[in-house]
Structure 1
Amino acid sequence: MSGPVSTRVESGVLVVTIERPEARNAINTVTAEAIGAAMDRLDSETALVAGVITGAGGTFCAGMDLKAFLAGERPSIPGRGFAGVVEGPPEKPLIAAVEGYALAGGFEIALACDMVVAAENARFGLPEVKRGLVAAGGGLMRLLQKVPPGIAQEWALTGDLVDARRAYEVGLVNRLTPPGEALPAALELAATIAANGPLAVRATTRILREAPEWPAAQMFDLQRQISEPVRASEDAREGATAFKEKRAPQWRGV
């Protein structure tokens, strides 16, 4: 590992690891650029169906690197925002595998993901208000989408830390694991997703993200614009044929 981010591929899943444990995986500009490049790769390579993002050394991410900030850096990438992901997540599903702390911008990275797998020792928080700041990296907006409004307000306005068990109870965390097992559990979840039709996974992800903003009178028309090309694809025919022939489908992504 020669940079602040490492990547590897496992069974159609791109694993992205923030490799700055000496800084609790805090985000500086070069790290944001590397994460953004990994998100571009996830979107562009047809063999990749899903992604997992995690942190090295027992910590997910402590947010923005304040030393880099004070030196004049702005770890935000055009088109993708802070950390190369919070404003422009990949078009394919992304899972956060959280050990230890996911704080401030680190929590915002997790909130930008479609699912979260967390170890029991994980801690989440948007402590910005304690420092006279606003969690402006999508944390406030996405928190309202992920947990009940009253809970989102409590977490955001107090700035207090939230343990993994509580996050799991209110639906923020999909799966809870023993310490050290978040990444394997996230990979298991991602592999299950990656075994499905890639066009269907991508379209389903888009609908799940966009549907909450659709006007009720237009929602089915908007959904059809996304779903019909998948229905007409070779993969859809392959899925039906494989079911009929009682075999595993051979997806081509077309």
Structure 2
Amino acid sequence: MPVILTEKRGDVGIITLNRPEVRNALNIEVRTAMRAALDAFDVDPDVLVVVLTGAGGTFCSGRDLKAAQAGEPMYPSRRAALESFNRTTIAKPVIAAVEGWALAGGFELALSCDLIVAGEGARFGIPEVARNLVAIGGGLLRLPRRMPYHLAMELALIGEPWTAADLARWGVVNRVVPTGGALEVAVALAEKIATNGPSAVRATKEIIQAGFDSLPERHAFDAQDAAAAPALSSPDGAEGIRAFNEKRKPVWTDR
């Protein structure tokens, strides 16, 4: 069986980690295939939003430690590491649909997505410290920006898993749904996003993710305007206004 499955539902592309026998643990084969699937959907005009999920009732248990013990590195090269999804996202929004465990690199994978939908039974954690490892896949960088500092420290230093409800309380998880329903709710959210102007959605993601707040306000506006320019100059801008005035759904062409 392939380690990554892909499918399309209308404007939504779905990527499924497919190693349920090892709780979708990440090895080089999975990381390489997942990156290829993300890049393929990113340039596919038929796909406007991507959903990332796992097979067998588990999102991802993190790095394949048996492969690591056998000497397999996380990535085949330094370039592959720098181009990994954890470090380099795609232009289109990505939603994580999480059931079961999202641990270590699996939690960091979910944090790399733009929204997270989780089943009630989902559990999240970065337990690396228990094995004298360090979570270098983005969790230690992103969590303090998305939840209070002291709680991020507790999660990272103790290493015990937290519930979906715990993380939803602090805004890390967008939706908590009945167990087994994460994928369908994630797809429904993706479909809502996909009704909006594609180039405006891409620009909006770029601006929010760029975090221009580190710049002086004047320069932040300049950077924002540069990111927004392709969408604002797109024919879809005029189409959006025209469709509003004509009381109809817009027909987007800049996909």
Within a 5 Å distance, the mapping from 1:53-132 to structure 2 comes to 53-76=52-75, 81=81, 84-132=84-132
Whether 1:176 and 2:176 are equivalent positions in the alignment is yes
8 Å contact from structure 1 (residues 75, 82) kept in 2? no
CA distance in 2, matches of 1:56, 1:148: 31
Q: What is the match of residue 158 of structure 2?
A: 158
| TM-score (norm. length: structure 1) | 0.95
Aligned to 1:232: 233
Measured in 2, the distance between the counterparts of 1:72 and 1:207 equals 39
The alignment status of 1:9 with 2:21, answered yes or no, reads no
Residue 221 of structure 1 is matched in structure 2 by 222
Deviation at 1:212, TM superposition (A): 4.5
Q: How many residue pairs end up in the alignment?
A: 253
Mapped contact 1:197–1:251 kept (Cα < 8 A): yes
State the distance in 1 between where 2:52 and 2:67 align: 22
How many Å separate the matches in 1 of 2:185 and 2:80?
27
Q: Is the 8 A contact 1:29 1:75 kept in 2?
A: yes
Ranges in structure 1 where 5+ consecutive residues have no aligned partner: none
- Superposed CA offset, 1:36-69 (max 9, x none): 0011112211222111100000100000111111
Deviation at 1:157, TM superposition (A): 1.1
Q: Would the alpha carbon gap of residues 107 and 212 (structure 1) be closer, same or farther in structure 2, given more than 3 Å must change?
A: farther
1:190 equivalent in structure 2: 190
Please state how far the C-alpha of 1:216 moved relative to its aligned partner. 2.4
Q: Secondary structure of 1:17's partner?
A: strand
Of residues 134-143 and 41-50 in structure 1, the stretch that sits farther from structure 2 once superposed is 41-50
User: Cα 1:10–1:141, aligned 2, differ >3 Å: closer, same or farther?
Assistant: same
Runs of 4+ in 1 over 3 A off after TM superposition: 77-84
Of the structure 1 ranges 101-110 and 10-19, higher mean CA displacement relative to structure 2 is found in 10-19
| 8 A Cα contact 2:61 2:106, kept in partner | yes
Cα RMSD for the two superposed structures: 1.6
Q: How far apart, in 2, do the equivalents of 1:139 and 1:211 lie?
A: 17
Q: Distance in 2 between matches of 1:246 and 1:74?
A: 55
TM-score under structure 2 length normalisation: 0.95
What's the % identity of the aligned pairs?
A: 45
Deviation at 1:76, TM superposition (A): 2.6
Structure 2 CA distance for partners of 1:139 and 1:9, relative to 1, 3 Å: same
Distance 1:123 1:16, change over 3 A: same
Contact 2:199/2:230, CA 8 A, preserved across alignment: no
Stretch deviating more after TM superposition (173-182 or 34-43) = 34-43
CA contact (8 A) 2:20 2:58 kept: yes
Aligned match of 2:41: 42
* Kept after mapping to 2: 8 A contact 1:61/1:101: yes
8 Å contact kept, 2:12–2:191: yes
Aligned-pair distance for 1:109?
0.1
Supply the distance in 2 between the matched residues of 1:240 and 1:80 (Cα, whole angstroms).
42
Indicate the SS of the match to 2:6: strand
Q: Is 2:151 aligned against 1:133? A: no
